[in-house]
Amino acid sequence: MNRVLIAFVMVVAMLAAPATASPPDHAGDAQPSVAPGLIDRDGDGISDDLAAKLSELP
Protein backbone atom coordinates (compact mmCIF):
# COMPACT_ATOMS: atom_id res chain seq x y z
CA MET A 1 0.00 0.00 0.00
CA ASN A 2 2.80 2.44 0.87
CA ARG A 3 4.51 1.82 -2.50
CA VAL A 4 1.28 2.59 -4.35
CA LEU A 5 0.82 5.80 -2.41
CA ILE A 6 4.43 6.88 -3.04
CA ALA A 7 4.10 6.09 -6.76
CA PHE A 8 0.86 8.09 -6.95
CA VAL A 9 2.44 11.09 -5.24
CA MET A 10 5.44 10.94 -7.59
CA VAL A 11 3.20 10.84 -10.68
CA VAL A 12 1.16 13.80 -9.43
CA ALA A 13 4.36 15.74 -8.72
CA MET A 14 5.73 15.02 -12.20
CA LEU A 15 2.49 16.15 -13.85
CA ALA A 16 2.35 19.35 -11.80
CA ALA A 17 6.01 20.31 -12.34
CA PRO A 18 5.76 21.66 -15.93
CA ALA A 19 2.87 23.95 -15.01
CA THR A 20 4.81 25.57 -12.16
CA ALA A 21 8.22 25.68 -13.86
CA SER A 22 7.36 27.95 -16.78
CA PRO A 23 10.00 30.58 -17.60
CA PRO A 24 9.26 34.24 -16.92
CA ASP A 25 7.79 36.27 -19.76
CA HIS A 26 10.24 38.90 -21.02
CA ALA A 27 8.38 39.69 -24.23
CA GLY A 28 7.84 43.32 -23.27
CA ASP A 29 11.35 43.90 -21.96
CA ALA A 30 13.78 45.69 -24.26
CA GLN A 31 16.68 44.34 -22.19
CA PRO A 32 16.51 41.05 -20.25
CA SER A 33 16.66 41.31 -16.48
CA VAL A 34 20.29 41.49 -15.35
CA ALA A 35 22.04 42.66 -12.23
CA PRO A 36 22.45 46.43 -11.92
CA GLY A 37 25.82 47.52 -13.21
CA LEU A 38 26.03 44.77 -15.83
CA ILE A 39 23.82 46.37 -18.49
CA ASP A 40 25.55 46.87 -21.85
CA ARG A 41 23.37 49.19 -23.94
CA ASP A 42 25.82 49.86 -26.76
CA GLY A 43 26.75 46.21 -27.30
CA ASP A 44 30.53 46.57 -27.07
CA GLY A 45 30.86 43.82 -24.45
CA ILE A 46 31.70 46.18 -21.55
CA SER A 47 29.04 47.18 -19.05
CA ASP A 48 28.04 50.83 -19.12
CA ASP A 49 29.11 51.38 -15.49
CA LEU A 50 32.55 49.89 -16.10
CA ALA A 51 32.98 51.91 -19.29
CA ALA A 52 32.14 55.11 -17.38
CA LYS A 53 34.69 54.27 -14.67
CA LEU A 54 37.35 53.39 -17.25
CA SER A 55 36.79 56.69 -19.06
CA GLU A 56 37.49 58.57 -15.81
CA LEU A 57 40.95 57.03 -15.45
CA PRO A 58 43.92 59.21 -16.45
pLDDT of residue 29: 55
For residue 51, pLDDT beyond 60: yes
Q: How far apart are CA 57 and CA 24, in angstroms?
A: 39
| Better-scored residue on pLDDT, 48 or 32 | 48
Looking at the whole model, is its pTM more than 0.85? no
Average pLDDT over residues 17-25: 60
| Better-scored residue on pLDDT, 30 or 16 | 16
Could you tell me the residue ranges of all domains in the chain? 1-56
pLDDT of residue 50: 86
For residue 13, pLDDT beyond 70: yes
Radius of gyration of the chain (CA): 23
